[in-house]
Structure 1
Amino acid sequence: MKTNPGRFFEDYRIGETIVHAVPRTVSGGERALYHAMYPARHALYSSDEFARACGLPQSPIDDLAAFHVVFGKTVPDVSLNAVANLGYAEGRWLAPVFPGDTLRSESTVIGLKENSSGTSGNVYVRTRGMNQRGEVVLEYVRWVMVRKNRADAPAPEATVPELRKAVPADELVVPAGLDFSGYDFALAGERHRWGDYAVGEKIDHVDGVTIEEAEHMIATRLWQNTAKVHFDATFRDDGRRLIYGGHVISMARALSFNGLANAQVLVALNAGAHANPCFAGDTVKAWSEVLDKAETGAPGVGALRLRLVAVKQGAAPFALKGADGKYAPQVLLDLDYWALIPV
């Protein structure tokens, strides 16, 4: 058999490392397409001149674009037969990705747990993205619900990894040379700096975008994401294609520009949950909460720990969870991350 049906839950083993196929050289084309699909306007990722004024050699590829490239490599081996991508933890961006860099990925299986239905199980992997010099530019843990191929396949011993709730501030990696001491707030689009944000503050990002089927399909193809739930309308019982969770992440991050325009650089992904499915026709809005603040050793650079929540139409203001502790049905995404911002 020469074709690959993808891995099923019973095909994974704790400790195995999977080298993912098809390295990818990124270019300015990724930036143009990323900005065409999302209302992304952060200045550091839009202008070489702005980036150079902040101490970088040129404008990097958006941090989430780099994440999508690394993530997309893993799909044929990790989530081709997924029911859903469930969550993220312990993510760190370790170096900027510039046009001309070539990215590849590898993942190590760190947890397995069969679900009570006996038809699927959760697979935990730690993924690393490397550039052409072998430098790790990104690492993260994710877990995904994967179908079983045979219901009678024996379940592995349940192993659920202990994951930290957040990346400590002293483990955040500031890009080499980054300097916000001469930051141009006018060109960035907002005047708000690190000291203007308070822990516990919530920000309604106001704007909304209706998700289109065509844009989602372009996005999943761009990132070479081959998960069947995103492409094959016969794969789900309801006949609907599930919107790639990363598409929702990027949309919400782009919407957060209105109120967080100066939260320029993503440096850590503490936790994340795709709370409810998103489908074409849903209108996505976003709000943020400031969870923590930290200083860094880089000139003029501070860090904010932020919760980014994406909701769809009908959500109550700042909707998150109900009295039962479960996510409200209109909540699509709950993402906890660190970002760098001028002080």
Structure 2
Amino acid sequence: MAEADLSGGHGDEAGARGRPGAPTGEPTRLLRAALQEVSTVIVGQDQMIERSMVALIARGHCLLEGVPGIAKTLAVSTLAKVTGGSFARVQFTPDLVPSDIVGTRIYHPSTEQFDVELGPVFANFVLADEINRAPAKVQSSLLEVMAEKQVSLGGTTYPLPDPFIVIATQNPVESEGVYPLPEAQRDRFLMKVQVPHPRAHEEMEILRRMSARPPEPHQVLDPVTLLELQHDAEQVHVHQLIADYVVRLVMATREPENYGVPELRRVLEVGASPRASLGLVAAARALALIRGREYVLPEDVRVLARDIMSHRLVLTFDALADGVTTTQIVDRVLAAVPPPRVIWDDPPSGEQAAAAAR
């Protein structure tokens, strides 16, 4: 694997160490096999499946937003089965309390001692289903879990299993009885993925595949292999120009007038946090590994920018009144901030060498 750093290379090669599509070997084969196995159950939602895998390999968490009935929960449980990790589902409701998630201490009069009952978050895959149905106090109980990957109960810290990922779902349609995620909670998610309805031919395939005997996925990976794949992703090379591009994208949401988009000052209350920069690099590394490269390209960053930056932006009241969306702002930033050019280090042809000599 390539050395994991944010420097190296020369010229404008932008982290390239070879032609696109150069195989990375066993890690890429395993990841593609896992994605293929998930797709034997889930029809059509290729982006959601790939982004969930990217979040897992990048050691992040994922927020899935879409209307009910489009296989968000099924996709997460299938991914857990394919990767061999333990799975826990928590259905968020208005009457949920934090101890229902992280656990609690129970006093036993017979022994005059407290016993600790650990909550369902002690699993490799935790599905927080309809997370916006629970009040902010319950939502924030996941902050330590997601950031530190541990739970503190009664003065004792209990580490969570490794690997660990929280995948939350939320329904964007209903407004009655739901509690929007606070900014601090949204920022803990590496990415937020919009899950659309399936298209007509995909709906027909869902009918054919799921109406009789639904297919059962087979295990392809295991937790130990997942940890190795996460380490492989961390070794994917990120050129200094790619890192500079990531920083410019994020800074354009904080200082838009300095990056050619002064009109965004009126619609942006708060720009993307440093977690956006870290997340873009980590996720781009994971995506490059899945796509068979040992280096990150500008296109990897651009493909993931919407999912990683949009939920970290806070809009002004005027922007909300005008119906401006955060994805529109990210698209505007991507159009205004130029990516680095990728120049491959090919040996010059005879004509090019003669022209250089002159």
Q: TM-score, normalised by structure 2?
A: 0.23
Bigger helix share? 2
Bigger strand share? 1
Max Rg structure: 2
